[in-house]
Amino acid sequence: MTPDDLVLTPLGLRFQNNLYPCSIGRSGLSARKSEGDGATPRGVHAITGLLYRPDRISRPTDWACPIRPGDLWSDDPRHKDYNLMVRAPYGHSHERLRRADPLYDLIVLTGWNWPYVVKGRGSAIFIHQWRRPGAPTQGCIGLRRQDLHQIAGAIRPSSRLIIG
């Protein structure tokens, strides 16, 4: 473990010697994650990317990629694009990345169930803005907006998300 790793603790998300309040999946932590179960998967997950809404916020790092109109994330385990970013139109189950609310204005992508996707094991686990303090996610990690922006500005591609 290094200070550049994000470590989920019972008290919050620890990163670079700071502790940030966070929310997790509505079903708690699980070592046996499956699609739609609402659990946050235990394990060590690589940080694989950073996405942002260029119409709402400035680029947080030089390696962040913009979320464009029509960007989606496939969560359909029956489709070949399962657990990948796809583009509209897309006739299979998916999440819109460009949302009306601010939840996905900034997304830290993790390597959960990627690059070797197991169908039904669960699609993307993001680190994103929470709805409100204590509100559970669908399995992701939720943070206060200002904390998420602070972390995104300092996170490295070599950082990891560690969930015990």
In a domain, 1, yes or no: no
CB-based burial of residue 93 (10 Å sphere; 0-12 exposed, 13-18 middle, 19+ buried)? middle
In a domain, 12, yes or no: yes
In a domain, 104, yes or no: yes
Q: Which domain holds residue 103?
A: 6-163
Neighbours of 16 (CB within 10 A): 14
State phi, psi for 148 to the nearest 5 degrees.
-60, -45
In a domain, 67, yes or no: yes
| pLDDT values of the chain reduced to their tens digit, one per residue, 164 residues | 999 999 999 999 999 999 999 999 999 999 999 999 999 999 999 999 999 999 999 999 999 999 999 999 999 999 999 999 999 999 999 999 999 999 999 999 999 999 999 999 999 999 999 999 999 999 999 999 999 999 999 999 899 999 99
Q: How far apart are CA 162 and CA 109, in angstroms?
A: 13
Number of domain units in the chain: 1
Q: Which residues have C-beta within 8 Å of that of residue 157, sequence separation ≥ 6?
A: 47, 63
